[in-house]
């Protein structure tokens, strides 16, 4: 028999959140609350982990499926009607007590809404539970404002005898500041028998899990309460204000973790890092940087202010200048990005390549050492090594129906203000003259120019000024000097 299984109660809507989204799906530092509880359960339990879902159960299940790799093996139990926490735990019975026999000696039960709870505290709870041979051990803490929490009642000798919910408590019971955190260790055989005898005789008409405490005491079994001084980690999220508090504490923890790992933050309070992010040593984060999702950042990289990186991979020694946005992008070692650059999903910036100001990339590979330094849109393109993309270049990748690719081979020079109408290939080492609209493939090492020839008319501007000076404000458009808009022999070709 395994030693310990775990149950995460995650079926409630959380009315006090005033949300259409199930409470446990609300994110804290980029991960839904249910992630923290389930991953903690998985780390502690050697047996089954059962997540009880109900409200938006499909979405909760879909999220857990997506994180399967980290959480497996995992069971899902469905609580069709949310009749209370005792009823929620009962839904795990078929997994944890098949054919009337428990699969593990102990059950760890966790509320789905206490994401700050730590593994160290749960481990201490386990040690106490085993040392005292209790049937139930609960985690408690003293709160300055215990409103909304179940109060823990003890005998003068310290023995826990009851948890009374805030809504059911007398004024005297409410004056008690020791609260039930919602973290329980229970002997499996006792648990499932006790759950069968719960009655919804209370202010909310619910089956309270906390009533198993009174039942254990009535049977002469021992109930322990382990009090922790860290009230923050006991915080149960029931409202948006609670969510904001938990977010604040979690973000602080994450920052401390990375500071300890050798990351510099010029202003930690304005640096936002999601829980799943990884950052290498000697990386420097300037104020107001946000790093989200599964982003991984290498060593000695610098990220300047107001940049946001989401689900991206950034190598060592990269510089990301101010106000740049990376989403689903890969940036290799020594590259430089921004300021004001936007890298959309599928962008790969190879080693030592440069993406400058007001440049947008989407589904593009920019090869090693290549540069797109100014005012450019590159979409659906493969760009080779040592390519120069001139200012104002645009890949015209969309014809209103389909997206097409542009291929720019190694060593190409694209002159400024060029449009490359996809599908099109610019051969290795070719030059595209500034201001060209390229609609056909360009041969390797060739020159392409597709702009109209330049017209120069000597003295035209001076004649125009003189004419307008004579006619003053009455001058009309039709009075333009001779030769305007017509061909003149005074044309001069500009040598390219
Ligand atoms: C619960 C405890 C309370 C404790 C507090 C700590 C009970 C009766 N009360 O109150 O003593 O001080 O947590 O935060 O247990 N859930 C279900 N199905 C249901 C009802 C709830 O899965 O039918 C889940 C919720 O999704 C949530 C957890 O159980 O994750 C706790 O429910 P919640 O409504 O937040 O209970 P509290 O009123 O906070
Ligand atoms: Mg709660």
Here the tokens at position 357 are 């100001």
| 68 Cα to the center of ligand 2, angstroms | 26
| 191 Cα to the center of ligand 1, angstroms | 17
CATH number at 314 reads 2.160.10.10
Q: Which residues is 355 bridged to in the sheet?
A: 337, 372
| 85 Cα to the center of ligand 1, angstroms | 6
Ligand 1 site, residue 32, Cβ cutoff 6 A: no
pLDDT tens, residue by residue, 46-69: 999 999 999 999 999 999 999 999
Is the same domain home to 67 and 202?
yes
Ligand 1 site, residue 377, Cβ cutoff 6 A: no
Ligand 1, atom 3, residue with closest C-alpha: 150
Ligand 1 site, residue 179, Cβ cutoff 6 A: yes
Alpha-carbon gap, residue 28 to 127, rounded angstroms = 29
Contact between residue 408 and residue 426 where contact means Cβ atoms under 8 Å apart: yes
Ligand nearest to the CA of 109: 1
Which residues contact residue 389 at a Cβ distance below 8 angstroms, ignoring those fewer than 6 apart? 370, 371, 372, 373, 376, 378, 383, 408, 414
Main-chain phi, psi angles of 101, to 5 degrees: -120, 130
Pocket test for ligand 1, best of 59, 236, 238 (most atoms within 8 A of CB): 236
N-to-C CA span, the chain: 84
pLDDT tens, residue by residue, 299-341: 999 999 999 999 999 999 999 999 999 999 999 999 999 999 9
Is the same domain home to 107 and 166?
yes
CB atoms within 10 A of CB 243: 22
Nearest ligand 1 atom, CA 113: 30
Nearest ligand 1 atom, CA 13: 26
Which residues contact residue 131 at a Cβ distance below 8 angstroms, ignoring those fewer than 6 apart? none
**In the prediction, which pLDDT does 480 show?**
54
CATH number at 9 reads 3.90.550.10
**Angle value at C-alpha 35, between 30 and 40, nearest 5 degrees:** 125
| 181 Cα to the center of ligand 2, angstroms | 9
- In this prediction the pTM is 0.91
CB atoms within 10 A of CB 204: 12
Ligand 1, atom 25, residue with closest C-alpha: 12
| 297 Cα to the center of ligand 1, angstroms | 38
Ligand nearest to the CA of 233: 1
Is the same domain home to 212 and 111?
yes
| 222 Cα to the center of ligand 2, angstroms | 25
Characterise 485 by phi-psi region: left (phi > 0), alpha (psi -120 to 50), beta (else).
left
Q: Which residues is 437 bridged to in the sheet?
A: 419
Look up the domain containing 222 and give its range.
Answer: 2-234
Is the same domain home to 100 and 221?
yes
Three state DSSP letters for the chain: CEEEEEEEEECCCCHHHCCCCCHHHCEECCEEHHHHHHHHHHHHCCCCEEEEEECEHHHHHHHHHHCHHHHCCCEEEECCCCCCHHHHHHCCHHHHCHHHCCCEEEEEEEECCCCCCCHHHHHHHHHHHHHHCCCEEEEEEECCCCCCCCEEEECCCCCEEEEECHHHCCHHHHCCCEEEEEEEEEEHHHHHHHHHCCCCCCCCCCCCCCHHHHHHHHCCCCEEEEEECCCHHHCCCCCHHHHHHHHHHHHHHHHHHHHHCCCEECCHHHCEECCCCEECCCCEECCCCEEECCCEECCCCEECCCCEEECCEECCCCEECCCCEEECCEECCCCEECCCCEECCCCEECCCCEEEEEEEEEEEEECCCCEEEEEEEEEEEEECCCCEECCCCEEECECCCCECCEEECCCCEECCCCEEECCEEECCCCEECCCCEECCCECCCCEECCCCCCCCCCCHHHHHHHHHHHHHHHCCHHHCCCCCCCCCCCCCCCCC
Ligand 1, atom 14, residue with closest C-alpha: 236
pLDDT tens, residue by residue, 394-445: 999 999 999 999 999 999 999 999 999 999 999 999 999 999 999 999 999 9
Is the same domain home to 188 and 286?
no
Contact between residue 198 and residue 218 where contact means Cβ atoms under 8 Å apart: no
Asked if the bond preceding 339 is cis, omega within 30° of 0, the reply is yes
Q: Within a domain: residue 475?
A: no
Is the same domain home to 300 and 196?
no
Here the tokens at position 268 are 């930690």
Here the tokens at position 133 are 């041979």
| 121 Cα to the center of ligand 2, angstroms | 19
Q: Which residue has the tokens 């959140």?
A: 17
Ligand 1, atom 37, residue with closest C-alpha: 149
Q: Within a domain: residue 466?
A: no
Is the same domain home to 287 and 402?
yes
Ligand 1 site, residue 111, Cβ cutoff 6 A: yes
Is the same domain home to 317 and 438?
yes
Is the same domain home to 287 and 184?
no
Ligand 1, atom 28, residue with closest C-alpha: 111
Ligand 1 site, residue 84, Cβ cutoff 6 A: yes
Ligand 1, atom 22, residue with closest C-alpha: 11
Ligand 1 site, residue 117, Cβ cutoff 6 A: no
Ligand nearest to the CA of 181: 1
Is the same domain home to 277 and 355?
yes
Ligand nearest to the CA of 169: 1
Q: Within a domain: residue 43?
A: yes
Catalytic residue among 26, 55, 129, 374: 374
Ligand 1 site, residue 141, Cβ cutoff 6 A: no
Q: Within a domain: residue 485?
A: no
Is the same domain home to 220 and 274?
no
Q: Within a domain: residue 58?
A: yes
**In the prediction, which pLDDT does 470 show?**
87
| 161 Cα to the center of ligand 2, angstroms | 21
Name the stretches of the chain with pLDDT < 50: 475, 485-496
Q: Into how many domains does the chain fold? A: 2
**In the prediction, which pLDDT does 482 show?**
58
Pocket test for ligand 1, best of 8, 10, 12 (most atoms within 8 A of CB): 12
Alpha-carbon gap, residue 203 to 1, rounded angstroms = 39
Ligand nearest to the CA of 111: 1
Ligand 1 site, residue 372, Cβ cutoff 6 A: no
Alpha-carbon gap, residue 485 to 478, rounded angstroms = 11
Q: Which residue has the tokens 């590259």?
A: 335
Q: Within a domain: residue 175?
A: yes
Ligand 1 site, residue 210, Cβ cutoff 6 A: yes
Is the same domain home to 301 and 176?
no
Is 374 part of the annotated catalytic residue set?
yes
């Amino acid at each position: 028999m395994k030693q310990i299984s775990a149950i995460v109660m995650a079926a409630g809507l959380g009315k006090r959140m005033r949300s259409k989204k199930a409470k446990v799906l609300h994110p804290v530092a980029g991960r839904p609350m249910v992630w923290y509880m389930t991953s903690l359960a998985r780390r502690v339990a050697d047996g089954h982990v059962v997540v009880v879902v109900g409200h938006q159960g499909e979405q909760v299940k879909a999220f857990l499926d997506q994180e399967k790799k980290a959480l497996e093996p995992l069971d899902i139990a469905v609580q069709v009607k949310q009749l209370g926490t005792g009823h929620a735990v009962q839904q795990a019975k078929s997994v944890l007590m098949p054919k009337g026999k428990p699969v593990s000696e102990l059950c760890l039960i966790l509320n789905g809404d206490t994401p700050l709870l730590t593994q160290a505290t749960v481990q201490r709870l386990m040690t106490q539970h085993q040392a005292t041979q209790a049937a139930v051990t609960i985690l408690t803490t003293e709160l300055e404002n215990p409103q909304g929490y179940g109060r823990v009642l003890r005998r003068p000798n310290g023995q826990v005898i009851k948890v009374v919910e805030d809504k059911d408590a007398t004024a005297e019971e409410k004056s008690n500041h020791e609260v039930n955190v919602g973290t329980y260790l229970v002997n499996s055989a006792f648990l499932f028998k006790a759950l069968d005898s719960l009655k919804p005789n209370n202010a909310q008409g619910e089956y309270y899990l906390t009533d198993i405490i009174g039942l254990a005491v009535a049977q002469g079994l021992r109930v322990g309460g382990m009090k922790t001084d860290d009230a923050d980690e006991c915080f149960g999220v029931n409202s948006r204000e609670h969510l904001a508090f938990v977010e604040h504490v979690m973000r602080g923890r994450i920052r401390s973790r990375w500071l300890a790992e050798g990351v510099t933050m010029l202003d930690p309070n304005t640096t936002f890092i999601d829980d799943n992010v990884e950052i290498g040593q000697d990386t420097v984060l300037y104020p107001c940087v946000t790093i989200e999702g599964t982003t991984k950042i290498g060593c000695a990289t610098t990220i300047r202010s107001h940049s946001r990186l989401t689900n991206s991979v950034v190598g060592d020694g990269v510089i990301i200048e101010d106000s740049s946005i990376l989403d689903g992008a890969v940036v290799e070692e020594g590259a430089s990005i921004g300021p004001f650059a936007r890298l959309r999903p599928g962008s790969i910036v190879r080693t030592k390549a440069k993406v400058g100001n007001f440049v947008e990339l989407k589904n593009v590979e920019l090869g090693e050492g290549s540069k797109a330094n100014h005012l450019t849109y590159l979409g659906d393109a493969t760009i080779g090594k040592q390519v120069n993309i001139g200012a104002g270049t645009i890949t015209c990748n969309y014809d209103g129906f389909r997206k097409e690719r542009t291929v720019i081979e190694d060593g190409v020079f694209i002159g400024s203000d060029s449009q490359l109408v996809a599908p099109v290939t610019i051969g290795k080492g070719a030059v595209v003259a500034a201001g060209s609209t390229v609609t056909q493939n360009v041969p390797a090492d060739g020159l392409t120019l597709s702009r109209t020839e330049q017209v120069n008319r000597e003295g035209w501007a001076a004649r125009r000024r003189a004419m307008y000076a004579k006619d003053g404000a009455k001058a009309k458009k039709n009075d333009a000097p001779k030769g305007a808009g017509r061909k003149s022999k005074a044309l001069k070709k500009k040598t390219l």
